[in-house]
Amino acid sequence: MGEGFPLLPESASTFAAELNLLFGYLTAVSLLFAGLIFTLVVAFAIRFRRRSEGDRPQPREGDLRLEALWTLIPLAIALSFFGWGADLFFRMKSPPADPLEIYVVGKQWMWKVQHQEGPREINELHVPLGQPVKLTMTSEDVIHSFYVPAFRVKQDVLPGRYTTLWFEATRTGEFHLFCAEYCGTEHSLMGGRVVVMSPVDYQIWLGGGRSGESLAEAGARLYDRLGCNSCHDAGPTARGPLLEGLYGSEVALAGGGTAIADEAYLRESIVEPGARVTAGYDEIMPTYAGQISEEGLLQIIAHIRSLGGALSLPGPGEPGGAQPSLRSEPGGGQ
């Protein structure tokens, strides 16, 4: 639905058709009731008009069945909006298992994209057709919003934390990418394009754009340069927790409680190490806030992730490794 209807953007993701339907349903019900109310206002104005000077309307008694009817029917309709909308919302917020993960950093005024395999892009995002793609996003400065109308996805991108969105493209081609949160002088220019390619073309593109090192390898280099290993490597002098197998695991915290070592926790532990210290360790790590860019933080997290853990990504070269498992479904998953 909605194809060729000029008021809607083109539809190029698995959500688009259903969102168009839901939007159409909301619009249809609104128009129906608006029409009904206008018609009745006019009809009643004529039907119950004052016919003579001495015209006195009869008092009317309430009718419980009528009251119940016009309460329950709108309630059921309103709940159908809610039920359908909530169901679709949760599906749009929950990426399927094993998506292709890509990192995005927004800054005044550009989108910087990092692929696990290494390639980086500015104001462009290349993705394969028919595969769920999950974006983990943050901002280097102010609030931005990542918006691809053709996919019907929009998510605020905030400084100091990670937000995610996911989509599955159902059509190859180029689609507009916008910033949808006013972020300064060049907000209106902060955009670009999303290029959806066939899985084979995407693999070729990945190879062609390869910068020589993967995201995790870049992270490992940064990790070494900052001397993280002096505290986090195994050994009798280790003053910090081991990072092998950490990603996605549950960490017991000093002072009680636990935390899941996801991207957000790892980021916090680098820029604000005292916030949630692992049980059994002293609060001695200095903060790295301001010393590592958001891209660098994502690289280090990718490195820690490559060291294994409950939700780790297989490293490059391992079986089922960095090459994303492509489900080649010609025509996409719709």
Work out which of 126, 187, 232, 267 binds ligand CUA, going by CB under 6 A.
Answer: 187
For residue 7, the SS3 value is coil
Q: Is 121 exposed, middle or buried (0-12, 13-18, 19+ CB in 10 A)?
A: middle
Only segment of 94-102, 175-183, 271-279, 325-333 that touches ligand CUA (CB under 6 A): 175-183
CB of 142 to ligand CUA, least distance (A): 7
Report DSSP state, residue 2: -
- Answer yes or no whether residue 183 interacts with ligand CUA by CB under 6 A: yes
- In angstroms, rounded to a whole number, what is the distance separating the alpha carbons of residues 167 and 9? 16
Q: Please, are residues 127 and 108 in contact by the beta-carbon 8 Å criterion?
A: no
Taking CB under 6 A as the criterion, which residues in 77-136 touch ligand CUA?
A: 106, 109
The CB-of-99 to ligand CUA minimum distance in angstroms stands at 24
Q: Which stretch binds ligand CUA (CB under 6 A): 120-128, 181-189, 206-214, 231-239?
A: 181-189
Question: Considering just the CA atoms, what is the radius of gyration of the chain in Å?
Answer: 27
Return the number of the residue (11 or 136) whose C-beta is nearest ligand CUA: 136
Can residue 181 be called a binding residue for ligand CUA (CB under 6 A)? yes
Q: Which one, 184 or 274, has the nearer CB to ligand CUA?
A: 184
Among residues 5 and 182, whose Cβ is nearest to ligand CUA? 182
179 counts as binding ligand CUA under rule CB under 6 A: yes
Residue 177 vs 195, nearer CB to ligand CUA: 177
> Between the CA of residue 319 and those of 5, 129, 216, 253, what are the distances in Å?
46, 23, 16, 34
195 contacts ligand CUA (rule: CB under 6 A): no
CA–CA gap between residue 331 and residue 334 (Å, rounded): 8
Select 181 or 263, whichever has its Cβ closest to ligand CUA.
181
Is 190 one of the binding residues for ligand CUA (CB under 6 A)? yes
Q: Which stretch binds ligand CUA (CB under 6 A): 177-185, 226-234, 235-243, 281-289?
A: 177-185
Closer residue to ligand CUA (CB): 94 or 185: 185
Q: Which residues pair with 196 in a beta bridge?
A: 127, 173
Give min distance, CB of 182 to ligand CUA, in A.
Answer: 6
Give the nearest distance from C-beta 187 to ligand CUA in angstroms.
4
What gap in Å lies between CA 115 and CA 203, rounded to an integer? 12
Q: What's the CA gap between 262 and 269, in Å, rounded?
A: 11
Based on the shown chain and the rule CB under 6 A, indicate whether residue 144 belongs to the binding site for ligand CUA: yes
**95 vs 192, which CB is nearer to ligand CUA?**
192
Sequence-distant (≥ 6) Cβ neighbours of residue 49 within 8 angstroms: none
**Residue 301 interacts with ligand CUA (CB under 6 A): yes or no:** no
Q: Is residue 189 within the footprint of ligand CUA (CB under 6 A)?
A: no
Position of tokens 């692992």? Answer: 278
Contact 259, 279 (CB under 8 A): no
Q: Which is nearer to ligand CUA, 153 or 220 (CB)?
A: 153
Beta strands in the chain (DSSP E): 100-107, 110-115, 120-122, 124-128, 132-139, 144-148, 153-157, 163-168, 173-179, 191-197, 250-252, 258-260
**Token pair in block for residue 323:** 């090459």
* 294 scored as a contact of ligand CUA (CB under 6 A): no
Binding site for ligand CUA (CB under 6 A): 106, 109, 144, 179, 181-183, 187, 190
